[in-house]
Amino acid sequence: MTSVYVFNGPNLNLLGVRRPEVYGTATLSDVETLCREEAEALGLELVFGQSNHEGQLIDWIQEAGAEVKAGRAIGAVLNPGAYTHTSVALHDAIEGVELPVIEVHISNVHRREPFRHHSYVSPVASGIVMGFGVYGYVLAIRGLHGEARQV
């Protein structure tokens, strides 16, 4: 079965607890359930992960890139968390393995602090979904699936 990857960066394990007025009350477990249901509806297997460590995310990106090249995956949905605004390394990893990525943000980062307006991931992402709460993950999976079908 073809896979879709969903990777979450630092502090997303705190969903439902950290700043619910910004990120809502859904937990990361709720997000995984939502993603799994959408993936299954599209005939995809879900590989879901969260890490507070940049290197772990890079390893996963490289693994996902290899799976896409082998025809066993369609790409990744990535919520890089705060690494969005700081990580040239994530940018380089995505670009290096030519991984199709949809960047996801639960909040609309452009309505927040100015330092959140810049993304190192966006220039190498196929698309960006932000401001739709956790439903943005569903939109991102659908977008990635639609993009893969056009190839």
pTM given for the model: 0.93
Report all structural domains of the chain as residue ranges with CATH numbers, in order of start.
Answer: 3-150 (3.40.50.9100)
What is d(CA 93, CA 96) in angstroms, rounded to the nearest whole number?
Answer: 5
pLDDT tens track, the chain, 151 positions = 899 999 999 999 999 988 877 666 899 999 999 999 999 999 999 999 999 999 999 999 999 999 999 999 999 999 999 999 889 999 999 999 999 999 999 988 777 777 677 899 999 999 999 999 999 999 999 999 998 877 6
CA neighbours closer than 13 Å in the CB half-sphere of residue 72 = 7
Within its chain, how far is the Cα of 100 from the centroid? Answer: 11
Nearest to 10 by CA among 80, 61, 60, 76: 80
Active site residues: 23, 105
* Binding-site residue set for substrate: 79, 85, 92, 106-107, 116
* Binding-site residue set: 79, 85, 92, 106-107, 116
